[in-house]
Structure 1
Amino acid sequence: MSSPDVATRPAPEPGSSPVVDVEQAEAALVEHYPRLVRLGYLVLPPSLGRNRRVLTAHSITQRALPRGRTAGDRAVIPAQRGTEGRNGDPGYGYVRLRVLRSALEAGLPLKRKAWPKRSQLPPLLPQVWGLRLFPRSGGADELALDQRLSALGGPARAAYVLRGLERLPDAEVRKVLAAAGVEDPHAALAEADGVPMEHGLLDSPEFDPCSLQARPTDLMRRRQHTRAALAAAAAALVCGALLGLPGDGWGPDGAAAPPYAKNPAAEAALDPGKLTRAAPQTWQRSARTDFSVWPARGSLTGDRELLRRALAVWARPGESVQVSATPGTPAGAPPGPAQLLYAGEVDEARVVLLHDGLRIVRYAEPRDGEGGAALDFARVDGAEAGSSSAVVVDRVDGNVRYLTAPWVRDAAVRDLLKPADGPRTLRRSKDGVTDPLPTAASATICNSVSSLELRDAGGTRLLTDLGELTPAHLTAGRPDAPREVSGQSARASWARTACLLPAVRSHGVRSVNSWAFANQRLPESNGTATWVCTRAETWRGGGSRVLAQFQAPGKRTGAIAAKAQDSPACGVREPRVLAGVLWKSRAGSWHVLAAGSKDITSVTATGGAPGSARGNVLDAPAKKGARAELTGKLADGTSISSLR
């Protein structure tokens, strides 16, 4: 699509850069809007989350036009001569460059002494209140590619997308990256070489921010936040009046913000002398196996100034403090004197771990005193031995260190993808801090998924890092009787599930159970498939995630057949499940396959592939693209629908 005045536009002088006016750029933007938004979405840092990436991709694309709005306005397109864009359109090359530059800027860290760039801030428009928007989910291949891309830096991700989505040769990729402000395009291309090129996957609905699914935000939390906002507004008025009164204040304390007003109860909670400390042998005498019986450990437990800074920042985090909290975890001040779990130096930071009965709080400050502090919250109420065996004490450069519980006798590392390999011993300091091990939370190329194996008097437990303060406890077997992942069969089942763990990352996950609920002999002598249900339980109770997998023979990773959130399926309340998948045999014929747990006595398919079968598995001939509705029945006649 071209603007009517293209023919009257004077040609650029020899050796000059191409020029484009507003109408030509706008025409290119309108014509190629879905592709430009997809490009921005793929280049934006995955750490923003899918909802914000969607909105930011639309925002930076809509702001890609030049500021001028008259026909005479012209904008120079740098370094795009000869390959200006799609089909040689300089207008497309211009807006693509603007989108790419903004997407790269969004991934830059904020600087304390510089104003943030517009793309580094949440988008003003478009904005959707009360809804979470995200692209439609793809299969295991799309998930694996998304994980690989998230491991790349912004310039390398941009190089990969320009290669795969725009199909630009490397020489042109370097030109575009240089024009977008990338300092070393050659290094970006070299880093992108580490991810195999998947041209077709970049066109998948998984990466299409124009074809979206909508879900509500947490309705209960929204109501609570509204009430809290009203209460905070009233408190601000009161505190403002108190601040105007004469008298001494607390004053800043480390990275803490200035205090609002004196409060004896709050002052007591911030007094390091009032921190509670469990005696070293309490855990041996107590019937409890949670964080309340952990003794205070670390070389800095007597550093009152460090502890005072940690408590003050907890109560009043300043602008330079990076605060994070797992979903459902309040990030407010301590209600009273907390329990000290750890204070010491780990790598390049001084770290303090505190427990207030509901939450684990981690405070970290740089050892050299330069830079901001970090404050992390994680909900841990109702913890038991399996979920209170370790806490993340430091995370840096793709590695994680844990502080292990006092009852842990031995620690080791296992690769979930290699069930036949033995564990590798993990050394610990006298305080229980482990050596660094690769974190599964940042693994994007799924060729290794590290897990922490801990042995105590109760047996051997397997945990893995999902990007939170407490690692997730991995179990196997029926949801009403889960067992530890300690046998060869349980480890082999987890080996084909481990690459899907990023789907439940950073959701406040307490435990993940993997249950092989059915085996199905495939038609046309294609072997036997395994159906697996993976359920992630959260610390807050709600927000559980359920994935049904179809594990075909010979495949390294299972394919996601269905997924659900806040569903009772595969859980203690409803230990049953039914799922189906459209499957293609080696001979090229299509089938709808379905399977349910053993208490399902019959399965029926209606719609595009009708069929029925006695027992808990179904095979119905189908055509490519067919859709079917599945229904199962229990022995008492109760109907059960498929997971969705």
Structure 2
Amino acid sequence: MRPQDVVTTPAPPAPAPAPGPVSVEQAEAALVEHYTRLVRIAYLVLPPSLGRNRRVLTAHALVQRSLPRGRTTPTGATDAAIPPSRRALGDADPGYAYVRGRVLRQALDAGLPLKRVACPKRAQLPPLLPHVWGLRVFPRSGGADELALDQRLSALSGPARAAYVLRGLEELPDADVRHALTSAGVTDPHAALAEADGMDTAGDAALLDSPEFDPCSLQARPTDLMRRRQHVKAALVAAAALAVCGALLGLPGDGWGPDGAAAPPYARNPAAESALDPDRLTRVSPTAWQHSSRTDFSVWPARGSLTDDNALLRRALAVWARPGSTVQVSATPGTPPGPPMGPPQLLYAGEVDQAHVVLLHDGLRVVRYAEPKDGTGGVALDFARTDGADAASAGALVAGRTDGNVRYLTAPWVRKTSVLDLLDPASEPQTLSRGEDGLTDPLASPAQARDCKAWDVLELRDETADRLLTDLGELTPARLTSGPPSAPRDVTGKAERAFWARTACLLPGVRTHGVRSVNSWQYAKQPLPDSNGTANWLCTRAETWRGTGSRVMAQFQAPGTQAGAPAAIAARAEDSSACGVRDPKVLAGVLWKSRAGRWYVLAAGSGQFTSLATSGGVDGSAQGTLLAVPARAGARAELNGRLADGSRVGALH
């Protein structure tokens, strides 16, 4: 465990003569001298939706692309980069001001939405260089204050983030901030400053110097190794298939009829044709689930108003087999996107908002085909792995997303559907209506929200329990549970709801990873030094459908914080067995400051630990599962624990 650091960013550039034309040498000197500061500015202004790994690489790319193209810049361009007040006083390096202006403009461009009719700007595309192969890089994790600031910054627009950074990190007065924003292409700098005023406090501005926002002091973790190996194998297989199919393109044949957005068929194949025949689709009886030995997607009946529309079903099957170049295809990690091996099972065919939707199941995967009602343009095809499903994980599927809302198709054994705000532990479930075919009314999708002001989850009541499911941007919603890994249970009690209220805003970190369920359990309670109350330690583990690629987070939930405020992440791990059935133990620590202003290294382990110890920058030890050692601000320490058998175990990482 390495507690969070406190790093001081270099001060703004020293005074320089009044600006004239900036030469390449001046700009390069300013870029090299203040590189870390410029990259921090770019990182803070870039949209958080890019993710930490891409924000780091993009920030470095923007700064490295900020030198002038010619030998010098025009005098007017240089003057525009330096605010009038500073130009008069002569206290700004013209080279630094020019490069900073270029960085700001590109960072703001990177946050603009892509348009269909216009070519994207270079900053809107992923950077070609720098590029890291096989690793994910990201700044060191900060504390609860940094996490809260990052959440508030993510809610601001790009110009407002830029205004906040220029004001807090560069210490520019408002007149100079407006001038810098105007030079960077912001049309309304006054509105940007007004938006930044809503959160501009001295304490928050000081946190901009935190290691949490330093893209030059990085941690590295491997990417999904299993997924990467599968991609290499898939690429080799695809190359071989492409070579074979290329030779078959010239063979004669009329294809399989009107197939909508599907690509042309390569060659006739009787087995493949039978799998794509709408008349051979498997249709389960509406009462099959009541007496079946299995309770999963295989016993879902065929529902919807278009189950007899053979033209629609033919298009869906043909696009599944060979999607054309205009089809938007998505698949959860570890899900093969190939055609069915035989006639699949029909789950649903009907109208969902403004689209015709078909849901199919082949035993391994659920496939969603969607086309607009007015034609076959804009067809989407989604794959999700669902092997090993049970009654709890086969309770619902995403039927459609529109305008920030999501509609679910529920299992035939679901008796009641409700909506629950996970951020409000005292709220009561609100009834969610659904049709006779099991399709629910729309509810707000947290997977499409830009902030975390609410987190609506779907509550299903079946014959045995009330279960919570949340949309994480995939075809299958993720089940939420509490309790130790050996006996996870559905979230029902007030204490569990309170823990989840502070965990919900951390769920975006596991979006689009093929998550089957997320379990969050309290493994320790710790009385805090200086009579600061009692903190809770939780371990949150996201399990995937494929079994690998799990995400683990150790949380530190300090007392006295608003119910829905996110907890501090003490440690993270990817593709780890920690905090799971096979390896339920977990150990994590944080650097914490009490209300009295004193710093401590706090740590907690699960019940398997008999003692804890820190070394390195902070030395201390304690018997049992809890540790609190006085420390200095910015201290670093290594955390270890001993188990009952005497073996030594490190902290989660």
Q: Which moved more, 1:467-476 or 1:270-279?
A: 270-279
**Cα offset for 1:34?**
2.9
1:311 and 1:247 map into 2 onto residues whose CA distance is 19
Match of 2:3 in 1: none
Match of 2:205 among 199, 211, 230: 199
Say whether 1:411 aligns with 2:412. no
8 Å contact kept, 1:299–1:345: yes
Is the 8 Å Cα contact of residues 67 and 99 (structure 2) preserved in structure 1? yes
Residues 135, 211 of structure 1: 8 Å contact kept: yes
Q: Percent identity?
A: 72
Name 1:609's counterpart in structure 2: 618
- Residue 77 of structure 2 corresponds to 76
Instruction: Report what 1:577 is aligned to.
Output: 586
Contact 2:83–2:180 under 8 Å retained in 1 = no
DSSP 3-state at the match of 2:348: strand
Note the alpha carbon deviations across 1:243-283, whole angstroms, 9 max, x for none.
23444456884333344444333333333333222221111
The alpha-carbon distance between structure 1 residues 422 and 256, as it changes in their structure 2 partners (threshold 3 A), is: same
CA drift at 1:474? 1.1
Q: 1:281 to 1:435 in 2, by over 3 A?
A: same
Contact 2:321-2:338 within 8 A present in 1 as well: yes
Q: Which of 120, 129, 132 is the matching residue for 1:125? A: 129
Q: Which moved more, 1:467-476 or 1:218-227?
A: 218-227
Corresponding position: 1:421 with 2:415? no
- The 1:124/1:608 distance shift into structure 2, 3 A limit, reads closer
Partner of 1:139: 143
Q: Distance in 1 between matches of 2:206 and 2:81?
A: 26
TM-score with structure 2 setting the length = 0.86
Residue 626 of structure 2 corresponds to residue 626 of structure 1: no
Q: Deviations over 1:70-128 (max 9, x none)?
A: 35877836954635899544544444444344344444455555544433433222222
For residues 313 and 479 of structure 1, the distance between their equivalents in structure 2, rounded to whole angstroms, comes to 41
1:391 aligned to 2:397?
Answer: yes
User: 1:516 Cα deviation (Å)?
Assistant: 1.2
Paired letter, 2:577: P
TM-score, length basis structure 1: 0.87
Structure 1 residues 56 and 334: alpha-carbon distance in aligned structure 2, compared to 1, 3 A threshold: farther
Q: Give the Å deviation of 1:542.
A: 1.4
Structure 1 residues 87-236: aligned runs within 5 Å? 88-112=92-116, 114-152=118-156, 154=158, 157-158=161-162, 160-166=164-170, 177=181, 179-181=183-185, 198-236=204-242
Q: Distance in 2 between matches of 1:126 and 1:20?
A: 26
Letter aligned with residue 646 of structure 2: G
Q: Is the 8 A contact 2:447 2:508 kept in 1?
A: yes
Determine if the alignment matches structure 1 residue 60 to structure 2 residue 31: no
Q: Tell me which amino acid in the other structure corresponds to 1:29.
A: L
Change (3 A) 1:585 1:49: closer
Instruction: Report the alpha carbon displacement of residue 422 of structure 1 after superposing the two structures with TM.
Output: 1.6
Change over 3 Å in CA distance of 1:627–1:378 after alignment to 2: same
- 1:279 aligned to 278, 285, 296, which one? 285
Cα contact 1:22–1:73 (8 A) shared by 2: no
1:510 aligned residue (499, 511, 516): 516
Gap change, CA 1:590 and 1:53, over 3 Å in 2: closer
User: Partners in 2 of 1:514 and 1:313 — Cα distance?
Assistant: 39
Q: Secondary structure at the match of 1:387?
A: coil
Change (3 A) 1:160 1:275: farther
Residue 35 of structure 1 aligns to a residue whose secondary structure is helix
Match for 1:433 among 430, 434, 439?
439
CA shift in 2, pair 1:227/1:36, >3 Å: same
Cα offsets for 1:46-76 (capped at 9, x unmatched): 44433333323322332233332x3587783
Query: Where does residue 353 of structure 2 map in the other structure?
Result: 347
1:377-388 paired onto structure 2 within 5 Å = 377-388=383-394
Counterparts of 1:206 and 1:603, CA distance in 2: 26
1:15 paired residue number:
none
1:76 aligned counterpart, secondary structure: helix
Q: 1:552 pairs with 536, 553, 558, which one?
A: 558
**CA distance in structure 2 between the aligned counterparts of 1:267 and 1:187, rounded to whole angstroms:** 60
The alignment of Structure 1 onto Structure 2 pairs a total of residues equal to 633
* 2-structure distance, mates of 1:55, 1:478: 38
1:29: Cα distance to partner?
A: 3.1
Moved more, 112-121 or 234-243: 112-121
Q: Give the aligned partner of residue 5 of structure 2.
A: none
Separation in 1, partners of 2:181, 2:256? 50
CA distance 1:398–1:481, change in 2 (3 Å) = same
Summarize the alignment of residues 292-307 of structure 1 with structure 2, pairs less than 5 Å apart: 292-307=298-313
The structure 2 residue matched to 1:367, chosen from 366, 369, 373, is: 373
Structure 2, gaps ≥5 residues long = 1-11
Q: 1:502 to 1:404 in 2, by over 3 A?
A: same
Q: Superposition pairs for residues 316-327 of structure 1, below 5 Å?
A: 316-327=322-333
User: Aligned pair in 2 of structure 1 residues 591, 171: CA closer, same or farther (>3 Å)?
Assistant: closer
For the residue of structure 2 that corresponds to 1:385, the secondary structure is coil
Q: Evaluate the alpha carbon distance shift between residue 175 and residue 627 of structure 1 in structure 2; reply closer, same or farther with a 3 A threshold.
A: closer
**Which of the numbers 485, 488, 500 marks the counterpart of 1:494?**
500
Match of residue 364 from structure 2:
358
Kindly provide the CA deviation profile for residues 26-47 of structure 1, in whole angstroms up to 9, marking residues without a partner as x.
3443333333333333444444
Structure 1: unaligned runs, 5 residues or longer: 12-18
1:37 is paired with a residue whose SS is helix
Tell me the amino acid that sits aligned with residue 83 of structure 2.
G
Distance 1:445 1:32 in 2: 32
Following the alignment from structure 1 to structure 2, what is the Cα–Cα distance between the partners of residues 34 and 252? 58
Q: Secondary structure at the match of 2:392?
A: helix
1:264 maps to which residue? 270
Letter aligned with residue 344 of structure 1: G
Alpha-carbon separation, structure 2, partners of 1:211 and 1:60: 17
AA at the equivalent of 1:99 = V
3-state SS of 2:131 partner: coil
Question: 2:8: which partner in 1?
Answer: none
Which amino acid in structure 1 is aligned with residue 619 of structure 2?
P
Tell me, in whole angstroms, the C-alpha distance in 2 between the residues paired with 1:367 and 1:192. 43
Name the amino acid aligned to 1:530.
Answer: N
Once the two structures are TM-superposed, the CA of residue 21 in structure 1 deviates from its matched residue by: 4.2
Q: Is the 8 A contact 2:348 2:357 kept in 1?
A: yes
Alpha-carbon distance, 1:162 to partner: 4.8
Correspondence for 1:641: 650
| Counterpart Cα distance in 1 of 2:181 and 2:324 | 36
- Work out which of the residue numbers 442, 459, 462 in structure 1 matches 2:468: 462
Partner of 1:50: 52
